[in-house]
Amino acid sequence: MKRHQYGRTPTAPGEYRESSAELARPKEAATLIVVRAGPKPTLLMGKRAASHRFMPNKFVFPGGRLDLIDQRLQVPGELSQPVMDRLRKSTRKAVNDRKLRGLALAAIRETFEETGLIVGRPASRSMNTTHPIWREYFAQGAEPPLEHMDFIARAITPAYRTRRFDTRFFLIHDQFIYSNPEQITDTSGELNELHWLTLSEARQLDLPAVTRWAIDLVEQRIQLAPAEQLRQSAPFVRFAKGQEISIDL
Question: What SS3 class is residue 243?
Answer: strand
Concatenated DSSP letters for 67-119?
-HHHHH---S----HHHHHHHHHT-SS---HHHHHHHHHHHHHHHHHHH---B
With bands split at pLDDT 50, 70 and 90, how would you rate the model's confidence at 125? very high
Residue 59's nearest CA partner among 71, 73, 43 is 43
* Domain assignment of residue 181, yes or no: yes
Tally of CB atoms within 10 A around 206: 12
Crossing angle for the helix pair 97-115 and 81-89, to the nearest 10 degrees? 100
Higher-pLDDT residue of 108 and 155 is 108
> How confident is the model over 203-237, as pLDDT tens digits?
999 898 889 999 999 999 999 988 888 889 888 87
CATH classification at residue 86: 3.90.79.10
* Domain assignment of residue 19, yes or no: no
Question: What SS3 class is residue 139?
Answer: helix
* Domain assignment of residue 193, yes or no: yes
Question: What SS3 class is residue 202?
Answer: helix
* Domain assignment of residue 141, yes or no: yes
Q: How is residue 32 annotated by DSSP?
A: E
- Name residue 87's amino acid: L
> How confident is the model over 38-88, as pLDDT tens digits?
899 999 999 876 555 555 568 899 999 999 999 999 999 999 999 999 998
* Domain assignment of residue 21, yes or no: no
> Is the separation of the CB atoms in 2 and 220 below 8 Å?
no
Residue 249: pLDDT over 80:
no
* Domain assignment of residue 238, yes or no: yes
Residue 136: pLDDT over 60:
yes
pTM of the complete model? 0.85
Task: Name the domain count of the chain.
Answer: 1
Tally of CB atoms within 10 A around 186: 16
* Domain assignment of residue 201, yes or no: yes
Q: How is residue 160 annotated by DSSP?
A: T
Higher-pLDDT residue of 159 and 184 is 184
* Domain assignment of residue 133, yes or no: yes
- Name residue 119's amino acid: V
Concatenated DSSP letters for 175-200?
GGB-S-TT----TTSSEEEEEEEEHH
Interior angle at CA 33, CA 164 and CA 222, nearest 5: 130
Residue 247: pLDDT over 90:
no
> How confident is the model over 63-77, as pLDDT tens digits?
999 999 999 999 999
Q: How is residue 16 annotated by DSSP?
A: B
Residue 173: pLDDT over 50:
yes
pLDDT for res 10: 31
Q: Give the domain range for residue 229.
A: 27-248
